[in-house]
Amino acid sequence: MNNSSELNVNGQPNVPQADVNGHAVNTNTENDMQIPPMSGLLTDLHRHHHVFGDTPNKEIRTIGVLTSGGDAPGMNACIRAVVRAGCYYGYRMVGINRGYHGLLRGEVNELDARKVSGILSRGGTFLMTARSKTFPTEEGINSAARMAKVFGIDALVVIGGDGSFRGAQKLSHVGLPVIGIPGTIDNDVASTEYTIGYDTAMNTAMECIDRIRDTASSHERCSVIEVMGREAGYLALNVGLSCGAEVILLPEIPTDFDRDVIKVILECRNLGKNHFVVVVAEGVGNSVQIAKQIEEVTGIESRATILGHLQRGGSPTIRDRQTACFMGMKAIECINAGRLNRIIAEQGGKCVDLDIDEALSMNKSIARDEILDAKIIAF
């Protein structure tokens, strides 16, 4: 096996050796696996590879990375990008298990390029995640910052949603430099147009609803499907639009049950439809109750399905992998340049970084036009 990225007895990474032609020399005597000759690109990569400890930002030697809040597909791809980019620039990289909860408990492990191998395509987060109740308190923030010091963490990369960023912001105010990368299936982080995991979750929900429509059509039923999104309706709107839902209910838009649900379903029936899909964002309320009411008022047999946590799993789509890679690399780029306490964001299709205080004071909301468009083509 090529052990090139493991630490040697001095705690320094083993640097792969190359001959005068730039071809790797296999120095491993325990295993006879042949290392193929390095490509031009790899030779170039090693030529520019920073030596461990010789970091572009002299103030920062060790970078911690954690995932916090609800997991999202693509978080692993992002951890991999952060760790590999960090190693490339010579930083010592450590992973914190179970988010802020793990930081408080000192669950810190050394990471290197090989330790993040094989995770790119995996859903979830191999660092695990948690929602800590103790951490957001003043005492929690101070002990977390102290713990970071104990483990020599000079900067912390937090992959998570809005709540995780508010925690990171508090850490930045007590002197621990942070970088936030948006990862949540809800797409509800104000400063960014896109959050890692959103596309995979939308595709998962869409596939499920397509299946549900098949059976709703056979039985001439109304299917009420609840999708996640916490207080936001992004997931519901775009999934509803993509599945041709007759009704989409979002927490951002107050619903008049008779006008927005019953009347629409009856109109669709009059236009010849024999089955109906109602997509409900979880922030709207009880989808089982909604299905019951539809059946009572219209006489159309109705069923409710709560998609729940299955929307959070699965192998990330290319959109999520790509965003995870770019955002992960951008986080390290910010640290290199001394741009600390930043939130990585997608704006106008570009990967940018914003001041954390500014980013967390932003708002975003769903455009009403998008909802109208969805309604027009559902008839």
CA atoms of 321 and 315, how far apart (whole Å) = 9
φ, ψ for residue 135, nearest 5 deg = -55, -45
CB of 231 to ligand F6P, least distance (A): 8
Residue 161 assigned ligand-binding role: yes
Quick check: 129 binds ligand F6P (CB under 6 A)?
no
Give the CA count within 13 Å in the CB-facing half-sphere of 155.
30
Q: Please enumerate in sequence order all residues whose Cβ is within 8 A of that of 16, keeping only pairs 6 or more positions apart, or say none.
A: 2, 4, 24, 35, 46
Residue 338 assigned ligand-binding role: no
Q: Is 62:52 a contact under the CB 8 Å cutoff?
A: no
Residue 245 assigned ligand-binding role: yes
What stretches of 54-98 show up as alpha helix (H) in DSSP?
A: 75-88
Tell me which of 13, 70, 180, 183 binds ligand F6P, using CB under 6 A. Answer: 70
Quick check: 229 binds ligand F6P (CB under 6 A)?
yes
CA atoms of 355 and 172, how far apart (whole Å) = 11
CA atoms of 59 and 301, how far apart (whole Å) = 65
Nearer to ligand F6P, 161 or 180 (CB): 161
CB of 253 to ligand F6P, least distance (A): 18
Residue 310 assigned ligand-binding role: yes
- Contact region for ligand F6P (CB under 6 A) — 2-10, 94-102, 225-233, 327-335? 225-233
Residue 311 assigned ligand-binding role: yes
CA atoms of 267 and 229, how far apart (whole Å) = 28
CA atoms of 236 and 186, how far apart (whole Å) = 9
Mask of contacts with ligand F6P, 289-328, x by CB under 6 A?
-----------------------x----------------
Nearer to ligand F6P, 112 or 252 (CB): 252
Based on the residue annotation, tell me whether 355 is a catalytic residue of this protein: no
Mask of contacts with ligand F6P, 165-204, x by CB under 6 A?
-------------------xxx------------------
φ, ψ for residue 267, nearest 5 deg = -60, -45
Residue 244 assigned ligand-binding role: yes
Q: What would the two tokens of residue 287 be?
A: 């989808």
- Contact region for ligand F6P (CB under 6 A) — 37-45, 91-99, 222-230, 320-328? 222-230
CA atoms of 275 and 220, how far apart (whole Å) = 5
Closest residue by Cα to residue 194 from 235, 166, 227, 156: 235
- Contact region for ligand F6P (CB under 6 A) — 52-60, 203-211, 213-221, 228-236? 228-236
Find the catalytic residue in 186, 188, 199, 320: 186
Give the CA count within 13 Å in the CB-facing half-sphere of 196.
38
Look up residue 297 and give its DSSP letter.
Answer: H
Nearer to ligand F6P, 77 or 332 (CB): 77
Nearer to ligand F6P, 50 or 319 (CB): 319
Q: What would the two tokens of residue 109 be?
A: 């492990």
Per CB under 6 A, contacts with ligand F6P among 267-286 are 282
Tell me which of 73, 86, 123, 161 binds ligand F6P, using CB under 6 A. Answer: 161
- Contact region for ligand F6P (CB under 6 A) — 13-21, 28-36, 227-235, 367-375? 227-235
52 to 5, 55, 364: CA distances (angstroms): 11, 7, 41
Residue 230 assigned ligand-binding role: yes
CA atoms of 50 and 271, how far apart (whole Å) = 67
Catalytic sites, residue numbers = 186
Residues in touch with ligand F6P (CB under 6 A): 70, 161, 184-186, 228-230, 282, 312
Enumerate the known binding-site residues for substrate.
Answer: 184-186, 221, 228-230, 282, 303, 309-312
